[in-house]
Amino acid sequence: MGVLDDKVAIVTGSARGIGRATAELLSEHGAKLIINDLDADLAAQAASEIAGETAVYGGDLTKAGAPEALIQTAIDAWGKIDIIVNNAGYTIDAPVHKMSDEAYQRMLDIHTIVPFRVVRAAAPHLREPAKQEREAGVEVFRKIVNVSSISGTMGNAGQANYASGKSAVVGLTKTLAKEWGQFKINVNAVAFGWIETRLTASKDASNTMEIEGETVQLGIPDQMRTMAPMLIPIGRPGTPEEAAGGVFFLCSPWSNFVHGQVLNITGGQLTGMMS
């Protein structure tokens, strides 16, 4: 028997990387999963490979109506939503003086606007059942986990756009926690440090993704990658599975009294500036 048996979870950007590891872990513990990715075929493939019950919504969540369609996919499949993990995202790096308006806006769109639209679309399916449970004197906890980054909490050179979007996620999380705590909806965030994904892999010609027909370069220079032992007290970057562990905790019953928090999953990474 799993701790998430009969729970319905949406994990955006869940066909690969941290999202995939999170979906697999939630499924392992009994959750039914909505798998989402920009690449609909890849999302379908991932869903077929993950044990347990899955449904698929493939497509670009920045498009009009897409967050609503994502939520409706869960409702059509299982009639409810218990967990939302807003994980989808990517990077477009450049120093401020070379950054285009489009590159800045894209990061705000995927990292801030999409999570806002997803939770807004989900609101009736989270709040209304909670009101009925409250009237009946029953506590049922639901979970929202928004993915931020230490780029958003500490800043990171070359990522003004990404850092701005991820910083805004923290504000969204804390505000939503104040609004929805009364409905037993735990709203928290995770701030990832250096996790081994395609966003932190070597920056070369093979590490790209396609967005609306445009090739976006991912990864970081190898010179930066060699610095991990000096920057991270644990001595190495984290794995997607280790990153997923923190998300799982915030989706689990053990986090029922954890609310409005940002969990740093960094291996103790030392870079950045904090007040």
The token pair that represents 115 in the structure block: 């999570």
Q: How far apart are alpha carbons 53 and 43 in whole angstroms? A: 14
Going from the C-alpha of 84 to that of each of 45, 81, 92, 125, 187, the distances in angstroms are: 21, 8, 25, 12, 10
For 191, the 3-state DSSP assignment is: strand
57 a catalytic residue: no
Q: How far apart, in whole angstroms, are the C-alpha atoms of residue 217 and residue 219?
A: 7
Contact yes or no for 219/17 (Cβ under 8 A): no
User: CA 256 to CA 261: how far, in whole Å?
Assistant: 12
Distance CA 193, CA 180 (A): 28
| Rounded CA separation 185/138 (Å) | 13
User: In this structure, are residues 262 and 191 in contact, taking their beta carbons and an 8 Å threshold?
Assistant: yes
Q: Are 13 and 90 in contact (CB under 8 A)?
A: no
Q: How far is CA 265 from the centre of its chain?
A: 13
Catalytic residue among 57, 90, 104, 162: 162
* Distance in angstroms (rounded) separating the CA atoms of residues 200 and 149: 13
Q: Please identify every residue annotated as catalytic.
A: 162
